[in-house]
């Protein structure tokens, strides 16, 4: 039976099990077959799903399935309506040395700011430059895409926290904490229950 875990990856932790520390080993002991589904940069935080379910990995990472990923983004400055409209429509960023037009996104300003655990080290505070928070929902996951998108509209990212993948969220987790899921729970939270066979395995999409 495949295994499923979800974690709150802290700032500074690499999404790998070997090499430069700290790595995912610092979050707990995982079966050797388990690996992260997608990645978060070392300087990004938030929800990380780990599994040995190759079918699920394909469903979540293949762009044609367009699963929603929501990020809480602290940016430098106060986003204008024009900037928010640009993010919703799609902006041009660099991906692998080429220009890429992002797909339309959902975006809203978070006021008040979300209640999140403190980051260590904290974001540098500058009294002369205001900051604000947005919720940004994407259906794709290019390398450092959120940071590139906010920079493209003139509001650099200061802190980035992945809050959810579909209906699987950070709710109740603290940085560094991990929990296990049953296959049924994982598929239900990720909107994939229609693909489960009656015996509990993934079914082919019809």
Where are the chain's structural domains?
1-65+166-197, 68-165
Q: Kind and range of the H or E element at 45?
A: strand 45-51
- Cα angle 178-17-46, degrees, rounded to a multiple of 5: 40
Q: pLDDT digits over 147-163, tens only?
A: 999 999 999 999 999 99
Smallest Cα–Cα separation from 50: which of 73, 27, 22? 27
Pairing relationship of beta strands 157-165 and 45-51 according to DSSP bridges: parallel
Superfamily the domain 68-165 falls into: Alpha-L RNA-binding motif (3.30.70.1560)
pLDDT score, position 197: 56
pLDDT score, position 200: 53
| pLDDT less than 70: residues of the chain | 196-206
pLDDT score, position 100: 97
pLDDT score, position 206: 36
What is the pTM (predicted TM-score) of this model?
Answer: 0.92
The set of catalytic residues is 41
Fold of 1-65+166-197: Alpha-Beta Plaits (3.30.70)
pLDDT score, position 124: 84
Say whether 68-165 and 1-65+166-197 share the same fold: yes
Q: pLDDT digits over 74-113, tens only?
A: 999 999 999 999 999 999 999 999 999 999 999 999 999 9
């Amino acid at each position: 039976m495949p295994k499923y875990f979800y974690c709150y990856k802290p700032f500074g932790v690499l999404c790998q099990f070997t090499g430069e520390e700290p790595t995912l080993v610092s979050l707990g002991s995982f079966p050797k077959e388990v690996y992260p589904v997608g990645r978060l940069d070392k300087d990004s935080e938030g929800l990380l799903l780990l599994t040995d379910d190759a079918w699920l990995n394909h469903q979540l990472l293949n762009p044609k399935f367009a699963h929603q990923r929501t990020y809480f983004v602290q940016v430098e400055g106060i986003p204008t309506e024009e900037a928010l409209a640009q993010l919703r429509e799609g902006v041009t960023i660099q991906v692998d040395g080429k220009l890429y037009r992002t797909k339309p996104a959902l975006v809203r300003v978070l006021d008040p700011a979300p209640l999140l655990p403190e980051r260590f080290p904290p974001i540098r505070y500058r009294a002369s430059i205001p900051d604000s928070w947005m919720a940004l929902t994407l259906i794709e996951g290019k390398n450092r895409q959120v940071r590139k998108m906010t920079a493209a509209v003139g509001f650099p990212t200061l802190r980035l926290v992945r809050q959810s993948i579909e209906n699987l969220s950070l709710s109740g987790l603290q940085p560094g904490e991990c929990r296990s899921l049953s296959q049924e729970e994982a598929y239900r939270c990720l909107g994939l229950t229609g693909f489960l066979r009656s015996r509990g395995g993934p079914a082919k999409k019809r």
